[in-house]
Amino acid sequence: MILRDVLSTGAGELRAAGIEEAMRDARRLMALALGVETGRLTLLERDEVKPVAVATFHDAVRRRCEGEPVSHILGWREFYGRRFEVTRDVLDPRPETEGLIAEALREPFEEVLDLGTGTGCILLSLLAERSGASGVGTDVSPHALDVAARNAQALGVAGRCALIESDWFGAVRGTYDLIVSNPPYIAAGEMAGLARELSYEPRMALTDEADGLNAYRAIAAGAGAHLRPQGRLLVEIGCAQGAAVAALFEAAGFADVGVWPDLDGRDRVITGRWNGAEKR
């Protein structure tokens, strides 16, 4: 079978299943089946595809039609120019979170704490961008920490980070220049209306099973004890949570509280500076 014909058939199946950008997904799955970069497919479109590759492609298309994210089929997702392993034990890195990285990099830091690290995409990206920095990533899931450890090794920053099992600040010791987090912020009542792809990600990474603000309450209340004077706290938020989370920061004693938009103009990152004394 000719590649362009196989690709067209697969894209048609995806389109019929209601998958947006069906051809884009089909091309990524074909590249996986052939073991090549997606950009090479145009050069190969008139070539014959071996039966084993056709079978691999159609199996991947079937999984995508059932709602499985392309990233889970591939086993990775790109974030801030780097490839991160993903599994059903972690939240997929998303483009919106890159805004948090950009904000964090606006000022220098030497030691960073990432609460609820998941894949490690925030912590590891920051360490990769700042070669002199070190950090700690926490998560309540040991399986997520295993994924983060493999990503740290693959990116060459494992020697500069520690990964610990902790419920927010429970097992955290010491103080940091920077604390970052992308916590679960979807309210329990909103979960039923989410895209089916999200059923492949851990529920506890998506929702606090309450109003979507519980993680921010815990982070705002505990961050001051783990920040050095003038240290910064940055969190990702849901687009309607800016005012509420900013108020939590201010009530906890943070100064210079700011709400920063994503590329679509929606509130996405809250920043604050700790002006209190270092706690020991």
The topology (CATH level 3) of 3-66 is: Helicase, Ruva Protein; domain 3 (1.10.8)
Using CA atoms, how far apart are residues 117 and 131, in angstroms rounded to an integer?
Answer: 19
Per-residue pLDDT of the chain (280 residues; tens, 9 = 90+): 899 999 999 999 999 999 999 999 999 999 999 999 999 999 999 999 999 999 999 999 999 999 999 999 999 999 999 999 999 999 999 999 999 999 999 999 999 999 999 999 999 999 999 999 999 999 999 999 999 999 999 999 999 999 999 999 999 999 999 999 999 999 999 999 888 889 999 999 999 999 999 999 999 999 999 999 999 999 999 999 999 999 999 999 999 999 999 989 999 999 999 987 555 4
Which residue spans of the chain are classified as CATH 3.40.50.150? 76-274
Write the CB contacts of 278 (distance below 8 Å, at least 6 apart in sequence).
175, 227, 228, 229
- CATH number for 76-274 (one of 3.40.190.10, 3.40.50.720, 3.40.50.150, 3.90.1150.10): it is 3.40.50.150
Q: Are strands 267-274 and 254-261 parallel, antiparallel or unpaired?
A: antiparallel
How is 40-73 classified by DSSP, letter by letter? GHHHHTTSBPPHHHHHHHHHHHHHHHTT--HHHH
Which residue spans of the chain are classified as CATH 1.10.8? 3-66
In 3-state terms, what secondary structure has residue 165? strand
> pTM for the full model?
0.93
